[in-house]
């Protein structure tokens, strides 16, 4: 579904051009994925689809550096955010110069320092190359991992626990292939409950990119790692994102993760510092 989604990245240059006297220009209507021509009038910005952004709303967006907004056909402006009564967590879309990232309870779900969310995703994908056969993505998030893996895999199964995150997926232009690509199967629920239902050796590759331990401790347990080992084919590869290996959190968590992966059956576990995680081989 096409919609206009904007952030300060797109709107700040627009305001500057209007103040300099421009009457038309190009802008990205989808957070830097593409560009369209727009008209700059006394009332605001007119998009080719009929959407109109008032200058007052443009100023609002320009000042909100941590938010993205959906502009509707009727001119209403709504922040891309959602709250889940089920998880009691607030989720929102945070813009960058490239793909946006997800905030859950104020915690970033992608690396943005010296990289961007999509490059962060590519580093995870690179860790399990060559991509082949069936891929399991245990935590969908914004779906970047599933989308990228589906460019090469026969099928990708991706699981998301939080309904609020799924609302953000639907509104994020960078997540639309989740809904459009027939090779991607989306599942709703807790991976610790869904993965045990899969048959033995169902997947050639697994990407396990859970939230922090404080948000999803069950996804760091030895019991869950045993399930990942069980559903991975012989010769298969697991990538487990953990976090900055040089941070206090990373130093503590890496040791425990490696120990539990080995106890679960993964005899070869290698740290991939550049990807902020480990690769485990079955």
Confidence label for 247 from pLDDT (cuts 50, 70 and 90): confident
**Nearest C-alpha neighbor of 204 from the set 132, 258, 123, 275:** 132
pLDDT average, residue stretch 266-279: 93
Query: What is the location of CATH 3.40.50.150 in the chain?
Result: 111-281
Q: Does the 111-281 domain belong in CATH 3.40.718.10?
A: no
Helix (H) or strand (E) holding 123: helix 117-127
* Residue % of the chain over a pLDDT of 90: 82
pLDDT digits (tens, 9 = 90+) for 227-246: 999 999 999 999 999 988 88
Report pTM: 0.92
* In the predicted structure, residue 250 carries a pLDDT above the cut 80: no
Selection from 140, 136, 149 nearest residue 169 by Cα: 140
pLDDT tens string 8-57: 999 999 999 999 999 999 999 999 999 999 999 999 999 999 999 999 99
Q: What is the DSSP letter of 129?
A: P
Q: CB within 8 A of 49, min separation 6: which ones?
A: 2, 4, 29, 73
Smallest Cα–Cα separation from 134: which of 148, 150, 145?
Answer: 150
Are 219 and 138 spatial neighbours (Cβ–Cβ below 8 Å)? yes
Angle at 146 between CA 141 and CA 147, to 5 degrees: 110
Q: 68-110 pLDDT, tens per residue?
A: 999 999 989 999 999 988 888 999 999 999 999 999 988 888 8
DSSP characters over 24-93: EEEE-SBTTS--EEEEE-SSEEE-TTS-EEEHHHHHHHHH-TT-EEEEPTTS-EEESEEEETTTTEEEEE
C-alpha 152/C-alpha 175 separation (Å) is 17
Structure tokens at 33: 């994925």
Q: What is the pLDDT of residue 278?
A: 97
Digit-coded pLDDT (tens) for 55-64: 999 999 999 9
| Mean pLDDT score across all residues of the chain | 94
Which residue carries 């001119």 as its tokens?
A: 75
> What angle is formed at CA 279 by the lines to CA 277 and CA 282, rounded to 5 degrees?
150
Compute φ and ψ for 13, nearest 5 degrees: -65, -30
pLDDT digits (tens, 9 = 90+) for 118-158: 999 999 999 999 999 999 999 999 999 999 999 999 999 99
Cis peptide before 130 (omega within 30 of 0): yes
> In this model, does residue 1 exceed pLDDT 70?
no
Instruction: Write the DSSP symbol of residue 222.
Output: H
Instruction: Convert the pLDDT of each residue in 178-208 to its tens digit.
Output: 999 999 999 999 999 999 999 999 999 999 9
């Amino acid at each position: 579904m096409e919609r206009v989604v904007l952030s300060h990245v797109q709107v700040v240059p627009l305001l500057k051009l209007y103040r300099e006297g421009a009457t038309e220009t190009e802008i990205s209507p989808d957070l830097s994925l593409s560009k369209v021509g727009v008209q700059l009038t006394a009332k605001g910005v007119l998009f080719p689809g009929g959407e109109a952004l008032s200058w007052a709303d443009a100023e609002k967006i320009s000042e909100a550096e941590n938010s993205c907004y959906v502009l509707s056909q009727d001119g209403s402006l709504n922040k891309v955010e959602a709250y889940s009564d089920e998880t009691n967590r607030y989720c929102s879309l945070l813009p960058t110069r490239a793909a946006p990232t997800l905030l859950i309870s104020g915690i970033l779900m992608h690396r943005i320092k010296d990289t961007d969310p999509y490059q962060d995703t590519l580093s995870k994908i690179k860790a399990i190359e060559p991509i082949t056969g069936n891929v399991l993505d245990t935590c969908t998030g914004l779906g970047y991992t599933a989308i990228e893996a589906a460019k090469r895999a026969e099928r990708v199964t991706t699981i998301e626990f939080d309904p609020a995150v799924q609302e953000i997926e639907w509104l994020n232009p960078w997540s639309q292939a989740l809904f459009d690509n027939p090779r991607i199967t989306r599942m709703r629920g807790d991976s610790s409950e869904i993965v045990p239902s899969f048959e033995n050796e169902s997947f050639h590759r697994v990407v396990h990119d859970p939230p922090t331990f404080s948000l999803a401790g069950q996804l760091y347990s030895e019991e869950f790692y045993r399930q990942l080992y069980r559903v991975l084919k012989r010769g298969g590869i697991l990538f487990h994102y953990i976090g900055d290996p040089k941070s206090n959190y990373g130093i503590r968590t890496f040791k425990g993760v490696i120990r539990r992966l080995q106890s679960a059956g993964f005899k070869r576990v290698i740290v991939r510092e550049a990807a902020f995680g480990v690769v485990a081989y079955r």
